[in-house]
Amino acid sequence: MTHLAHHDMKMYGGIKLYAGTGSPELAQKVADYLGEPLCGRDIIQFPNENLFVKLHSSARGQDVYVIQTTSSPVHRNLMELLIMVQTLRLDSAARITAVVPYFAYGRSDKKDQPRVPITARLVADMMEVAGADRYILIEPHAGQVQGFFSVPGDVLTAFHMIADHLKSIKPQLHDPVVVTVDLGFAKKGRNVAAEIDAPIAFIEKRRVANDAKAQALTVIGDVKNRDVVLVDDEIDTGGSIVQAVNLVKEYGARDVYVICVHPIFSASAAERLAALPVKQFITTDTVPISPEKAALLGDRLKILSVSSLLGEVILRAHEGRSVGEMFNE
């Protein structure tokens, strides 16, 4: 019998990448970054809408990453993720990490009125019950989502790469000011402003009960005769950003740039955005944008890929190296 010295023993096997159907292009880019193929699997929907997953090869003893965003179709994507994770667990994968670039239900993060759920907690629980040992999320709506998991994970910010893009266009910005679309985003907005060495202003916004339409009220700070960089974590219906753009324009802003990490662009958001006097929409590929919606925004749409961010974090997680080091933390 061979006795391996402790330091020779590997806890997990090689990296194995799997992807659901939520964000195939992003998954392929992550695979390209890592130089690892996406492993084969079948995902079949039966006539009764039940899903079925079959892996093409064994994942036994491997360090597995399941890349699946949970944007539209939300429930199909979520079930694909859960079923894939369970399939891998039953196949005796050594470690399973759910890589979820956009985390569905992130906005249901607290009881802010009586008799309502905390669905983000439920989603976290479901991922763990399915068999996820770890998770990787990008910019979930609220930090407390980290506390909804009892397994460890990496919660990544996309704002370093967005700030890098802003730095690259800064020479063409006239007296830029970073403006957050609501006060809840003030801290993250301040970090972006600090990275590009610009002042900060805020929009005070209130939601009316459960109405998806938000109401922007006032701008706190100076935007007059300045180029405005509006920041938010996601654009869903576009209601908040339409109000924000109109408001800063009323307050005398010059050119307006819009940043959002997650381009949900539901319903007619893309049409509404296209009609806005915005110079550039800067976003990421945590959520795929259909070619039709992208065409509406044309050259004004700048999509930064999170693939190298995810790829590097997967590599470091696999090798047991610090992720904080990537951000000088």
Active-site positions read 205
User: Under the criterion CB under 6 A, does residue 308 sit at the interface with ligand R5P?
Assistant: no
Would you call 212 helix, strand, or coil by DSSP?
coil
Smallest distance, ligand R5P to C-beta of residue 109, A: 10
Is-contact 135 117, C-beta < 8 A? no
Given 36, 63, 139, 234, the residue binding ligand R5P (CB under 6 A): 234
Classified as helix, coil or strand, 267 is coil
Instruction: Please report how close the Cβ of residue 245 comes to ligand R5P at its closest, in angstroms.
Output: 12
153 vs 238, which CB is nearer to ligand R5P? 238
Quick check: 273 binds ligand R5P (CB under 6 A)? no
**Is residue 109 a contact point for ligand R5P (CB under 6 A)?**
no
| 80 lies in the site for ligand R5P, by CB under 6 A | no
Query: 268 is written with which tokens?
Result: 């007619």
Binding-residue total with ligand R5P (CB under 6 A): 16
Per CB under 6 A, does 157 bind ligand R5P? no
End-to-end CA distance of the chain: 44
Stretch that binds ligand R5P, among 5-13, 78-86, 228-236, 289-297 (CB under 6 A): 228-236
Q: By CB under 6 A, is residue 139 in contact with ligand R5P?
A: no
Q: Is 181 in the site for ligand R5P (CB under 6 A)?
A: yes
Q: Which residues contact 190 (CB under 8 A, 6 or more apart)?
A: 178, 200
What is the nearest approach in angstroms of ligand R5P to the Cβ of residue 188?
Answer: 10
Which alpha helices (H) appear in the chain, and where do they start and end?
24-34, 74-90, 119-130, 159-169, 186-195, 239-250, 269-274, 291-297, 307-319
Considering the complex, what minimum distance in angstroms separates the CB of residue 54 from ligand R5P? Answer: 36
Assess contact for 236 and 225: CB atoms under 8 A: no
For residues 221 and 199, is the Cβ–Cβ distance under 8 A?
yes
Q: Is 263 in the site for ligand R5P (CB under 6 A)?
A: no
If binding is defined by CB under 6 A, does position 239 make contact with ligand R5P? Answer: yes
Contacts from 31-35 at CB under 8 Å and sequence distance 24+? 32/307, 33/307, 33/308, 33/310, 33/311, 33/312, 34/311, 34/314, 34/315
177 vs 214, beta carbon nearer ligand R5P? 214
Q: What is the Cα–Cα distance from 89 to 295, expressed in whole angstroms?
A: 41
Shortest CB 237 distance to ligand R5P, Å: 3
The reply to whether 286 sits near ligand R5P by the rule CB under 6 A is no
Q: Whole-angstrom Cα distance, residue 105 to residue 99?
A: 16
User: In the stretch 194-213, what mask flags binding to ligand R5P with x, by CB under 6 A?
Assistant: ------------------x-
Distance CA 310, CA 68 (A): 12
Q: Which stretch binds ligand R5P (CB under 6 A): 1-9, 56-64, 94-102, 229-237?
A: 229-237
Among 96, 198, 235, 248, binds ligand R5P (CB under 6 A): 235
How far apart CA 99 and CA 39 sit, in angstroms, is: 15
- Identify the residue among 28, 86, 237, 305 touching ligand R5P (CB under 6 A): 237
Residue 282 CB, shortest distance to ligand R5P, in Å, is: 16
Phi, psi (deg, nearest 5) at residue 246: -60, -40
- Smallest gap from Cβ 202 to ligand R5P, in A, equals 13
Which residue ranges make up the site for ligand R5P (CB under 6 A)? 181-182, 184-185, 212, 214, 232-241
